[in-house]
A and B are shown apart, each in its own frame.
Chain A
């Protein structure tokens, strides 16, 4: 059995679903940020696999995934800073404690 596009796409889907599950299930803001990272990395797996199997003559997918990695790093940097700022206010990073604004 050779490893093909399908396998990579299944891996990407599983990673994405795990990330989404983490975002909804975890209560700690840090764990949620990790879930978001999983989702973004699932996209990277997709992009690289598509680049290799669908359009190998160009490198658009690889370039796209480099951009995704850079932006994800920036997002996490801001995210952790915000977690510190909320921790100073509430002495907690539990998202259940974020209930001052309610619709």
Chain B
């Protein structure tokens, strides 16, 4: 057994527990801003530690746990998302009535669950990581005590999330019954066609599809995104979705054979197409920015899952690259929403009127991030979509690229609608929109990274290529 393969998870677990203990011994009267900085620096250390895990490509604990370049890259996506979310939440946490210190500890535990999912090579490990992440999110979504919408979102997420895990689990139990094993690479050799395998695969797609909000299973996301505290919405939208992709790619590409078994690709491509269309079309009439971003993230899930259709390293590379830039752009947009919410107490898009005059930094970051999500060149979102659809088209499957292109054009309408309000209209009042230091750092970072990765995607692209190749 090689415990060094668990090093980054141990660091994260230690950080979370340390934060809990610190919360107990720190005086109640002290403010909790310091916790945010400690968390951010601790996560930065974990991020640095993960760089030493590139090139290991080993598994341990009887194949339960695997560290390959793919899992390391995915872990870095989650850690980057967590650092940005923690920094953007430093000032938000001061507005919480109680349990301010534990907020950061819970974020770290959710991150730990995602890291376990990325390295899981076995159905049991996948399930434990998934539930560690999900149960922590139940708590975080309902964290704003006294705000009825937050606890309503929490209980809705709890009921729907638990049902989806139960369905996923039932599918997993059937897979175990068919093969007698829970290890993913072993399943690949033992699965053959049978009607019950169809049921299992539909259940797996339902369970994972819930996590990444694939279309028939996306109904929860706008409600929960709207009710949850905005930094948590950002974390839920980017990191938990990326974790769902991390597991889904591994289980489907490495665990479920296509030849001689069930053609799950048909169902996946069908859902990818529907997701791209529904997500973008329903986003158009939204008036609340968090609901608009929720439907936009549904649409993004459709683009990303299309990368699975190529079934090779370039497609996975597209998914990896896209999840990183999706994290940065979305966290930027949600941070702006957090700050506007704090200053103006509103999430309505019409109330963003005149933000360009009041706070040009916020308005330009939101515009750039939204344009990147829409896939406008030369921003990084365009490069990500290009990688994904190029990989699919190289396999001779043309329709996802057409659907994706048309739907991207439609998405420009509702993204630019926000920009129109911000830059064209005059402000309704002239209350200032303050930008505290740590949030400003997040905003500037997401602005710079979104632009720079669009013009110069080389290094991250090469890293993603290396990570994707380790799967095959």
Contacts and interface: CB of A to CB of B under 8 A. Distances in A.
A68 B169 contact: yes
A82 B131 contact: no
A32 B173 contact: no
Interface string B153-170: 111101100110011011
A23 B159 contact: yes
Given A47-B176, A64-B176, A100-B152, A40 B159 contact: no
A63 B124 contact: yes
Interface in A13-54: 16, 19-20, 23, 29, 32-33, 36, 39-40, 42-43, 46-47, 49-50, 54
Interface string A76-102: 001100110110011000010010111
B287 to A, nearest CB: 12
A80 B266 CA distance: 40
Interface residues of B, number: 40
A14 B402 CA distance: 44
Q: Name the prevailing secondary structure of the B interface residues.
A: helix
A19 B166 CA distance: 10
Nearest to B149: A100
B301 to A, nearest CB: 17
B69 interface: no
Contact of B131 (A47, A71, A85): A71
Contacts of B152: 86, 89, 98, 100-101
A40 B169 CA distance: 8
B127 interface: yes
Among A9, A20, A82, chain B packs the most CB atoms within 10 A around the CB of: A82
9 contacts: A16-B166, A23-B163, A40-B169, A46-B170, A47-B176, A67-B128, A75-B131, A86-B154, A89-B151
Given A36-B163, A43-B173, 12 more contacts: A19-B166, A50-B180, A55-B180, A63-B124, A67-B127, A75-B138, A79-B159, A82-B155, A85-B142, A86-B151, A98-B156, A101-B156
Interface of A: 9, 12, 16, 19-20, 23, 29, 32-33, 36, 39-40, 42-43, 46-47, 49-50, 54-55, 58, 60-61, 63-64, 67-68, 71, 74-75, 78-79, 82-83, 85-86, 89-90, 95, 98, 100-103
